[in-house]
Amino acid sequence: MNSMKGRTALVVAASKGIGKAIAAELCSRGARVMITSRSAENLTKAKSCILAQNQGGEVHCRVMDLDNEEATKAMLVQAVNELGTIDFLVANSTSFGLSSVGELVRQDWNRALTAKWWSLYWHVEAVVPVMRKHSGGVILNVGSIYSKEPQNGYGISNSVRLLASAFLKSLSDDLAPSGIRVNQLLCGYVHTERLGSYFEDLGRRQGKSSDQAIADVTKNIPMKRFAKPEEIARVAAFLLSDDASYITGQSLAVDGGLIRTAL
């Protein structure tokens, strides 16, 4: 296991699910971690859970509402000042449910752009100067396979995630000379609390039970199961670690083989 002692990580939207699992994995490797969420209660629970698994670890919390630009930027300034340095930025955000393009209104697009694009930009804007000052760092975005292989019924996710992917690829070119790496995880289906409500919605739209909707999706995954958040977290830790020191500008699918494209 690659040690991350002496490193500092900012993990966004990390009170539950994938973000929490990544924060716990980094903490287990010795990193000092700050987790953010819009819910102070959820942050407190997540911190207690992470520290229970990693006695002697260091976890900071910061309430951050990604829908509010001014508040997010102010909190980021405070977070950077509190941590002193940031070696790893793990950009994570809420997911969006089923939505065909014809169902969407401008408010939906604005909300999605804020959550998936602008919030990513605000975090990058805050941490890059610190990383440049220390001649290195890693930015990792938690994305989706839908930015590589768009799926019917995911108008918002297909579109906005692809925008983020293009931005991250361009950013990796700009920051590589400064020793800053930029990569992305393309997640498939992951067992989180949010997944249950997603399949309930999918089942209603398809006129079937959520269990049948899950079975229909699972049969198309070569590994015949969903990922555990901890499995995503271990891949994230690898991309953040020095073991991946020559990897930048990449989007790595962690999907059990679901994407069918050759490259």
**Residue 150: predicted pLDDT:** 83
Residue 93: predicted pLDDT: 80
Token pair, residue 93, equals 């955000």
Q: What is the pLDDT of residues 130-146, one digit of tens each?
A: 999 999 999 999 999 98
Question: 18: exposed, middle or buried (C-beta count within 10 Å: 0-12, 13-18, 19+)?
Answer: buried
Report the greatest alpha carbon distance in the chain: 55
Q: Residue 121's pLDDT is what? A: 95
Joined together, the tokens standing for residue 79 give 């977070």
- CATH 3.40.630.40, domain 8-191+227-253, yes or no: no
Q: So what's the pLDDT on residue 97?
A: 65
- Write down the domain spans for the chain: 8-191+227-253, 193-226
What residue ranges of the chain have pLDDT lower than 50?
none
What length does the chain have? Answer: 263
Please tell me the distance from the alpha carbon of residue 61 to that of residue 79, in angstroms, as a whole number: 9
